[in-house]
Amino acid sequence: MNKKIYTHPLFHLALFIITLVTTIIAGTEWITGTMGPYDLNSLLIGLPYSLSALFILATHEFGHYFAAKFHKVKATLPYFIPIPPISGFLNFGTMGAVIKTRSEIPTNKAMFDIGVSGPIAGFIASLIVLIYGFTHLPSQDYLLAIHPDYFDPSYGKETISLQFGNNLLFLFLKELFTNPSDFVPPMTEVYHYPYLMTGWFGLLITSMNMIPVGQLDGGHVVYSMFGSKIQEAVASISLIVLVVLGVSGIVDGALELNFGFGWSGWLFWGIILLLIIKVKHPPVRHFEQLDLTRKFLGYFSLLILIVCFAPSPFIITF
């Protein structure tokens, strides 16, 4: 296939439309707790999930895109990555979105701007979605329509339970924007609430991208701020942390300890980073000290990593 097809706007639009469809289906599955088949009216239930998820992803990627354009670096439009419905799989309808730079990034300043703009933009978009979700919580009747037996003492016993793990920012926003009179869903039921789920998912994706390894956004930021030696050291420590969390999650699940620390997926993510993304950030042609504004944004982006990171994003109990 001609390479120009992959960069044609219609190709990007087609991927976006397919991802729109797959996220609508995924949203309907998460919200209703059923696997279909669906009619058109049923699929409309998944539309808030789909639109808010795509809003977060698009904001993140266009942050990179416009920063690249500002520095006259050639870059593609975002490629949205759809996932077809798969039974029994943690299916969010998408694996995210990416852009591809098509020319050299000559300086660490340009590298920094392109790297930091996506996480900050996506972080702000996730904040908007989460604040809306917490300030527009439906009554408990919403959850009872999905699980009529929710308040029954036997609800959830002897069944597989999926719980989303908290992070510092999610906990803070919940305390800040909800009242004692509100019915706030527990983390075992958050996936029925599209804005809370996609906002939480946006924070998870942002934290995964901000891990300071190789050519992840966090790798761009740390390399551009501190240089290759510090970036490589921080990246190595980060991978060790991921391995520890991953092994902890595997041991917890295998022995059914249920202490809820770690996640096996972190080990898988660490292997991907080590083998594909690589630990060390490739050098740029011209490196100089960043100005105070960029340094502030860099430290702010690293703070985003800390407040968005969930050691146990998914907790499955039997």
* Helix or strand run (H / E) with residue 96: strand 94-98
What pLDDT is recorded for position 88? 61
Axis crossing angle, helix 168-177 with helix 194-209, rounded to the nearest 10: 150
Instruction: Look at residue 107 and give its three-state secondary structure.
Output: strand
Instruction: Look at residue 21 and give its three-state secondary structure.
Output: helix
Residue 312 is classified by DSSP as S
What pLDDT is recorded for position 3? 64
What pLDDT is recorded for position 71? 97
Q: Rounded to an integer, what distance in angstroms lies between the CA atom of residue 147 and that of residue 286?
A: 59
* Phi-psi domain of 262 (left: phi exceeds 0; alpha: psi -120 through 50; beta: other): left
Nearest partner of 44 among 20, 80, 18, judged by Cα:
20
Q: Which residues pair with 101 in a beta bridge?
A: 75
8 Å CB contact between 67 and 93 = no
Q: What is the mean pLDDT of each run of 10 residues along the chain (318 residues)?
A: 76 96 94 83 92 98 98 96 79 93 96 98 98 96 92 78 92 95 93 96 96 96 97 97 95 75 93 93 95 98 97 86
What pLDDT is recorded for position 84? 87
Within 13 Å, how many C-alpha atoms sit on residue 11's CB side?
A: 12
Alpha helices in 47-160 (DSSP H): 47-70, 108-135, 140-146
What pLDDT is recorded for position 119? 97
Q: Which two tokens stand for residue 225?
A: 């701020």
What pLDDT is recorded for position 1? 47
Instruction: Look at residue 28 and give its three-state secondary structure.
Output: helix
Domain extents for the chain? 3-317
What pLDDT is recorded for position 162? 85
Q: Rounded to an integer, what distance in angstroms lies between the CA atom of residue 165 and that of residue 248?
A: 15
Q: Rounded to an integer, what distance in angstroms lies between the CA atom of residue 80 and that of residue 215?
A: 19
What pLDDT is recorded for position 89? 66
